[in-house]
Structures are given as structure tokens and as C-alpha cells.
Structure 1
Amino acid sequence: MSEILQKAENYVTDLLTNELNPDFLYHNLRHTQRVVENAKELIEHYELGTTKAEDLELAAWFHDTGYTKGVPNHEKNSCSISETFLNEHNLDGKRIQEISRLIMATERFYEPRGLDEEIIRDADASHLGQKSYIETSELLREELSRLGIGQYSSEEWRELNIEMFRTEHRFYTDYAIENWQPRKDKNLRKLVKAKKSRKKLAKKEQLKAKFKNESPERGIQTMFRVTMRNHLKLSDIADTKANILLSVNAIIISLVLANLIPKLDNPSNDYLIYPTAIFVLFSVISMIFAILATRPNVTSGQFTKKDVEEKKVNLLFFGNFHKMELPEYEWAIQELIKDKKFVYSSLTKDLYFLGVVLNTKYKLLRWTYTIFMIGMILSVIAFFVGLEFFGPERVLELPKVE
């Protein structure tokens, strides 16, 4: 690498790193380095002379430096920055003009004249023929949004890219056409495929939305589904709470039987009899209520043909059919699904009786917790009273009878 190229690289790297607005997500140092690398690839292929090759590389380094002064007229600003730098390093005036000409050749819609301008334009647009095009394109969309130049949705941006691929851009050099065009065509096919997929999805969603609007039954089904799920969750919660109390009371009674009751044989422990009795009594009562809250209630499990015809039976609850023969139940279900009102009536009954069961469960559960709480409080008070007034120390203090 020549000395002037090394200095230009250092200068541009520092300039774009420190003075470029960070909102330039695409037109930044990474883009410039990519253009330089692809320009070198083309220069090596066409075996250009040293001076021409150096001018192209310098143009590639400086072509986007004008963005440090803003978006408008950035090509001219890039020329101004390059001319100032190159004059300071005593580059020949004609070469400086050539480099400015090459920078201006990167202007949009410019039609190149000569191989060197074709090389700089192909290098500047080389990302169109690379695997990373989609990601690079998204960076450009985000850049335009941040800079307030344009707000594009994904669909709008895809459409603009497809239009640009088909009508605005083409590679000029034979090397780019041979090596980069196939990947560009593949990228275009990806965009078109994504567009078609999006159209199909949009059409499907439109039909689905139309179907939803025209069919209130979906809302009704959702209502039944959600309500049924909520009822079942509440039932599970009630059963869990009852099981917790059953376990706690079972542990308490086990401990009392193992540790406390054997001590009651000793006359000095008579003060423990009443507190222990209260403790055990309330624990047993709360266990009974907890068992009642979780005890299943199964009905007769049979129905008649008349019940089905008159729609008086809920075929969705197992308690109404578990004793029926399979053919009879299959017939009843066929009758059910023939009549939409019968279906909704059965679902309504199912919800209603679930609610009735839930009401019973939660009432029993409330009584269970209340009894358990009262029992614990009374037991503790009884233990303290017994210990204070009838404990071993009080027995010793009683006067002896002569």
C-alpha cells in the first residue's frame, strides 16, 4: 500500500469514527471499507495501472465522507473533503480532479462513462450481490427513519427494494455481472417470495377476520371455554386448600396422640386434659369439613330416551351417563350435536352445576378455615389458663389437709 493510501485510510477512519452522526447505520465506516475491498477486487481483475488503481481506491475511501456534513450534497462535500486532504499532501491537481470525478460518479442515477466509473459504481452497490443484503438493507431503512428522511413499513421497504432491483440498478462491469449478479438475482427472488408469502398471510388473516365477524358463535364458544377453564381452576384451588388443611390437621393429631395424650395418665398433668380435648376436637371437626369439601358427589349416572328428547339431561357431565351402555350414549350424543341449542343448553347446565358445586366447596372451605382458626386460638388460651391456674406449681401450693 502506498503512503498516500495509508494516510487516506487513517484519515477517513478517524473522520467517520469521530465526526459521523451515529444515526448513519448504513453509510458509515463499515460501508466504506466494504466499497474499498470490492473496488480492489475489481481493480485486480482488470489489472489497472498503479496511478489509476490508486485514484480509484482513494475515491472509494472518500466517496461517503461528505455525510459528516449532512445528507444534502454529500457527494460534493465528499469531493471538498478529499480535495482538502489531497492538496495538503501535495497530490497532483489533475489526479485530484480525477478522484473528484470518480466520487461524483457514485451519485444516484448517474450513468458511468468509462471503466473506472463503472468500477466505482459497482463497488458502491456490491452489497446488492452479497448474502448479507437483507441485513444491510434493514440498516439503511433504520438509518432513513432515524434521520427523518423516510418512514417505511417492512412491506413498503420490500416493495421499494424490488422496484430498485428491477428498474433502477444494474451492474456495469463484466466481472460484477458474472460474479455478483447471480447473488443479486437470488436476493431479488427472496424479496419476491417474501412479498408473496406476506400477501397470502394477509389474505388468510383477512378471511379469518371476516369469518370471525360473520360468526358470533366463535365468541360464544370462547366464552364457554374461558368460563369453564376458570371454574375448573377455582375447583382445583379449593381442593388444594382443603388438602392442605387435611394434611396439617392429620400431622397435629398424630403429634398430639404420640406426645401429649400419654402424659395425661399422670395426675400432675390433669390441667392438660381440657386444652388437649379442645385442640383435638376442633382439628377433627375441621378435617371433617375439609373432607366434605373434597368429597365427590356422583349422581345416578342414567338417563332415559325421553330425557334426551326433552333436553332435560346434561350429556357432558359423566355423573349423568356413567351407567349407560355405549350405544345408548352414542345415540344421545348424536342427538345432541344435531341441535345447536341443545349443545349450548348442555354447556350452560354444565357451567351452572359447576358453579353450584364451587359454591358448596367454598362455603365448606370457609367454615373449615374458621373452625381451624377458632380451635387454634381456644386451644392456646386453654393451655395458658390451665398452666397458669391448674399447673404443677399451683398443685404444690395447695394447703395440706390434716
Structure 2
Amino acid sequence: MENIILQAENFVLQLFETKLSANNFYHNIDHTKRVVKRITQLAEWEGCNEREKEILELTAWFHDTGYVVTNDGHEEESAKIAEEFLTSNQFSLSDIALVKKLIFVTKKGAVPITKLEKIAKDADCSHLASDDYFEISNLLKKEIVLKNNTPILDLDWLEANKEFFENQQFYTQSALLKWQPYKELNARELDAKILKIKTKQQVKLNNKRTGRGVETMFRTTLKNHIELSAIADTKANILLSVNAIIISVALSSLVPRLDSPSNAFLVWPTLILTVLSVISIVLSVLSTRPNISKITVTKDMIKNKQTNILFFGNFYKMNLKDFEWGIDYLIENEDVLYNSLTKDLYYLGLVLERKYRLLRITYTVFMFGIIISALAFIISYYLFMIN
């Protein structure tokens, strides 16, 4: 075991020294050695046998060797390099397949199933629980910036880190017991750094705002939206009333006379008028029917600007304590407040678009309904008279 591990170490050291790009500030021999150390620890803690320890350590040495060939899809190249090396050292086919499988599980988004897969996955992400996590993270940022030739803002990078923290989990019991507390400490420090940057940005933003002008803009625009919504409801009510009267007249005055042979010509005009009036009523009701959100708003949604609790349809499922917290949060964070008002304007606009689109259809149906009904009456009466 020691012989093959030592050979693998020397092979990877030479490979990285001669072929790895100088831009690999994170995916380099230091990261590989760190993963080797962590995977060895986990293998011991998880009670692995000698063969499993050997497989895991070989996986750690080779899991990032593909970076000497490519950045995207490096796991496939790493597996090829590991296969070539192990084959030349008379490693068994089953063990080579297992090493390749463990390399693939270190890929972002891959979910480990077996004990060895969980150990490999946890070891590769062990830096999240490291005391020098932020120094390591900055090395990865520097590598990405140089390779993509695109700058990354500090806040964007920290928020991307936070997302990774939230999506990544430890799978082995040993990692959960020994590393998870340190990971949570780093997560809290990450939140503190994000908050600090956002606070500075907010101060700058507040200094630039012309408060009264912004408030006037929101007040005027919201007022216009509400007035337009009221006008749309009034139009819908007019159509409802008119069509209800038409149906009432048709049912009370025309329908009772349809059983008389002399009034047979009224059957089709009455039917057409009634059906089109019913359609107009249905469309009018749809244009005014309210739509209440079924999503339960959480504190995280408020913090991440994913909702607007100023609208009753969003906060009605919240308890009073959470709602009061949300309002206080809006008051203390002006950017979130303006974001909520912006969302209010946007969704009011969507509601208005739906109302006026349905009203346009309703008026069209009503207009052509009257015309068609009148024509049907004239034609039916003419045909009745000539017969």
C-alpha cells in the first residue's frame, strides 16, 4: 500500500510541477495535500479497512489532476489519468473502477451514496470547516478571475460562497460531528461580512437618494395604478349590470312567448343574445375576480427581497409577530423598503394588464353579441315572414 501511495504522490507532484497552469491558485498541490490529509482522517474515523484507505487516498491524490488538461469537466480527465497510472502499476480493474467512481463523486452537484463516496465528498469540501477558510476562498476567487478574465465583486463572491454553504452538506457521521460546528462558525462570519458590505453600500445609496422625489414618484405611480384598477372594476360592473338586465328581460319577456308558433322566429335571436350575454358576464367576473397568493412568506424571503409584505395577499398567512418583524425590517432597511414598493408597482401593473385585457375581450364580445343578435332577429323575422 505504502509503495503505490508513494508512487502516486511523486507522480502527482511532478505532474503539477511540470504541467499545471500558474493560474491554479486553489486547485493545486496544496489543495490536493489538504484533501489527502482530510480523507485519511475520515477513513480512520469511519473505520475503513486497509484496502478502503488505499482506494480513498489514491482518489484524493488524483481527483484534481485533470486540471492539467482542462478546467471544465476536469473530473473525466482526472479519472483517465488515474486509470493510466494505476493500470501501469498492475492495479486490479475493480479497484481502478472504484477510484474513478470516487473521483466523479467530487463533481459539484454529485450526491454520494456509499460510505467511500461520502468520505471522498466530505474530504473535498472539508475547507468549509477550516480555520483559514476565507484565505482559501480568496485563492479560488483569484483563480477564477484570472482564468475567466472577469472581475468579481466582493459582495457577489461572498453571496456565491453563502449559496455554496447552504447547498453543501457533510454526509459522514464523523464530519457532521467534528467539522459541522466549524463550518457553521464560518457561515456566521460569512453572513457578518456580507452584512458589513451591504451596510456600507446602503449608506452610500442613502447619500445619493433624493428621498422626497423618490417617495413622490412611488406615491403618484401607485395612486395612478389604483385609480386605473378602480376604473376597470367600474367598467366591469357596468357590463355585468347591462348583461344581467338583458338576460332578465330575455327570460321574463321573450322566453315565455317562444312556445307560440307565431313567435318561432324569436328562438334563435333570443338564444344567441342570452349565450353572448352570459359569456360577457363570465368575462366581467374574471376581470374583477381577486387572486390571492398561497405562498407562506418567511423571514429569509423578506431579507432576500423575494416578496412584498406591504400587500395583504402576501402577508395574510404570517403571524403577527413575524409581520411586525417584517415591517420593522423594512423601516430599518430602506433598500428593502424601496424594493417592496417596486414589486408592488410591478405586480399591480400585471393585475391591470389582465383586467384591461379581459375587459377588452368582454366589450368586443358584448358589441358583436348585440350586432349578431340584431342581425339574427332581422334575418329570422324576414324568413318567417316570407314563409
TM bucket (normalised to shorter chain) is: 0.5 to 0.7
> For the structure 1 residues 3 and 108, does the alpha-carbon distance in structure 2 shift closer, same or farther, using more than 3 Å as the test?
same
Partners of 2:137 and 2:7 in 1: CA distance: 30
Give the 3-state SS of the residue equivalent to 1:26 in structure 2. coil
Matched, 1:9 2:2: no
How far off is 1:151 after superposition? 3.5
How far off is 1:52 after superposition? 1.1
Partners of 1:100 and 1:149 in 2: CA distance: 32
What residue in structure 1 maps to residue 193 of structure 2? 194
1:176-187 superposed matches below 5 A:
176-187=175-186
Give CA-to-partner distance per residue, 1:307-351, whole Å, 9 cap, x none: xxxxxxxxxxxxxxxxxxxxxxxxxxxxxxxxxxxxxxxxxxxxx
Partners of 1:32 and 1:52 in 2: CA distance: 19
What residue in structure 2 maps to residue 102 of structure 1? 102
Partners of 1:152 and 1:202 in 2: CA distance: 16
Matched, 1:120 2:120: yes
1:71-86 superposed matches below 5 A:
71-86=71-86
Q: Which runs of 4+ in 1 moved over 2 A?
A: 205-211
What residue in structure 1 maps to residue 326 of structure 2? none
Give the 3-state SS of the residue equivalent to 1:172 in structure 2. coil
What residue in structure 1 maps to residue 44 of structure 2? 44
How far off is 1:72 after superposition? 2.0
What residue in structure 2 maps to residue 160 of structure 1? 160
What residue in structure 2 maps to residue 171 of structure 1? 170
Give CA-to-partner distance per residue, 1:122-152, whole Å, 9 cap, x none: 0000000111111111111111111117542
Question: Letter of the aligned partner of 2:169 in structure 1?
Answer: R
CA RMSD in angstroms comes to: 1.8
> For the structure 1 residues 193 and 71, does the alpha-carbon distance in structure 2 shift closer, same or farther, using more than 3 Å as the test?
same
What residue in structure 1 maps to residue 32 of structure 2? 32
Question: Letter of the aligned partner of 1:107 in structure 2?
Answer: K
Partners of 2:206 and 2:77 in 1: CA distance: 53
Partners of 1:125 and 1:3 in 2: CA distance: 27
Give CA-to-partner distance per residue, 1:193-251, whole Å, 9 cap, x none: 1111222222222333458xx9xxxxxxxxxxxxxxxxxxxxxxxxxxxxxxxxxxxxx
Largest Rg, 1 or 2: 1
Question: Letter of the aligned partner of 1:126 in structure 2?
Answer: S
Partners of 1:133 and 1:147 in 2: CA distance: 21
- The number of residue pairs the alignment matches comes to 212
Gap runs ≥5 in structure 2? 214-387
Partners of 2:176 and 2:9 in 1: CA distance: 28
1:319-398 superposed matches below 5 A:
none
Give the 3-state SS of the residue equivalent to 1:205 in structure 2. helix
1:206-217 superposed matches below 5 A:
206-210=205-209
How far off is 1:49 after superposition? 1.0
> For the structure 1 residues 150 and 114, does the alpha-carbon distance in structure 2 shift closer, same or farther, using more than 3 Å as the test?
farther
Question: Letter of the aligned partner of 1:206 in structure 2?
Answer: L
Q: TM-score, normalised by structure 2?
A: 0.53
Give the 3-state SS of the residue equivalent to 2:148 in structure 1. coil
How far off is 1:45 after superposition? 0.9
What residue in structure 1 maps to residue 361 of structure 2? none
Give CA-to-partner distance per residue, 1:342-399, whole Å, 9 cap, x none: xxxxxxxxxxxxxxxxxxxxxxxxxxxxxxxxxxxxxxxxxxxxxxxxxxxxxxxxxx
Gap runs ≥5 in structure 1? 215-402
Partners of 1:186 and 1:85 in 2: CA distance: 40
Q: Using the TM superposition, name which of 184-193 and 28-37 deviates more.
A: 184-193
Give CA-to-partner distance per residue, 1:85-116, whole Å, 9 cap, x none: 11111111111111111111111100101110
Give the 3-state SS of the residue equivalent to 1:109 in structure 2. coil
What residue in structure 2 maps to residue 365 of structure 1? none
Question: Letter of the aligned partner of 1:207 in structure 2?
Answer: N
Give the 3-state SS of the residue equivalent to 2:152 in structure 1. coil
Matched-pair identity in %: 35
What residue in structure 2 maps to residue 136 of structure 1? 136
Partners of 2:97 and 2:150 in 1: CA distance: 34
Partners of 1:130 and 1:171 in 2: CA distance: 14
Partners of 2:151 and 2:99 in 1: CA distance: 34
Matched, 1:205 2:187: no
How far off is 1:47 after superposition? 2.0
Matched, 1:56 2:37: no
Give CA-to-partner distance per residue, 1:166-202, whole Å, 9 cap, x none: 1x20000111111111111111111111111222222
How far off is 1:56 after superposition? 0.6
Give CA-to-partner distance per residue, 1:8-54, whole Å, 9 cap, x none: 00000111122100101100000000000000000111221111110
